[in-house]
Amino acid sequence: MSPIHTELYEKPVSSERIFEGKVINLKRDTVILPNGRTATREVVEHPGAVAIVPLTNEGNIILVRQFRHPVQQILLEVPAGKLDPGEPPETCALRELAEETGFTANKLRHLTSMYTTPGFSDEIIHVYLAEDLVESNNQPDDDEFIHTEIFTPQQIRQMITTGELCDSKSLVALCLAGI
């Protein structure tokens, strides 16, 4: 706990697991607020994830297009995926890059780690830039149906402007990669 602004901390009193799923868990916590009152906090627990900006040797970016059930849309995104238990983020990034795009990277650089929605989830995404790509075979998970597409930086910026590219992790990742 950081000693800065300690007057803002909430003190946990109890925690109840409400749901345990394949990707997320949900818990309900009771906390004591800084003013002494109690409050309830619902927390989505997530194992963490990675997002990768694959930059080709020609300076283009590989994105994936896939249907996202929660928003009922086909979205254009940087390749990304969930960490396996105990898996280092770098290993996950290389695995997800190969699974989703069919490329491996000889150079992987960590750009940032960020909380996606800290108001209700503990999910953290580790963002990487993948360079010096080598083509291999993509092998998405059995429940993933993905189209891989390659875009120029100018096309990416245009799709951001028009709203065609609207996934937050992708927007942050592309911005940090200087696209």
* pLDDT tens per residue, range 35-78: 999 999 999 999 999 999 999 999 999 999 999 999 999 999 99
CA 49 to chain centre: 5
Domain ranges for the chain, please list them.
Answer: 6-45, 49-176
**Which of 3.60.150.10, 3.40.1130.10, 3.90.1150.10, 3.90.79.10 would CATH assign to domain 49-176?**
3.90.79.10
Contact residues for 120 (Cβ-Cβ < 8 A; gap 6+)? 42, 43, 44
For residues 108 and 94, the answer to whether their CB atoms sit within 8 Å is: yes
Please state, in angstroms and rounded to a whole number, the distance separating the CA atoms of residues 114 and 54: 19
Under DSSP, is residue 96 helix (H, G, I), strand (E, B) or coil?
helix
Give alpha helix (H) positions in the chain.
89-101, 153-162, 168-176
CA 137 to chain centre: 23
Is the overall model pTM greater than 0.85, yes or no?
A: yes
* pLDDT tens per residue, range 155-179: 999 999 999 999 999 999 999 999 9
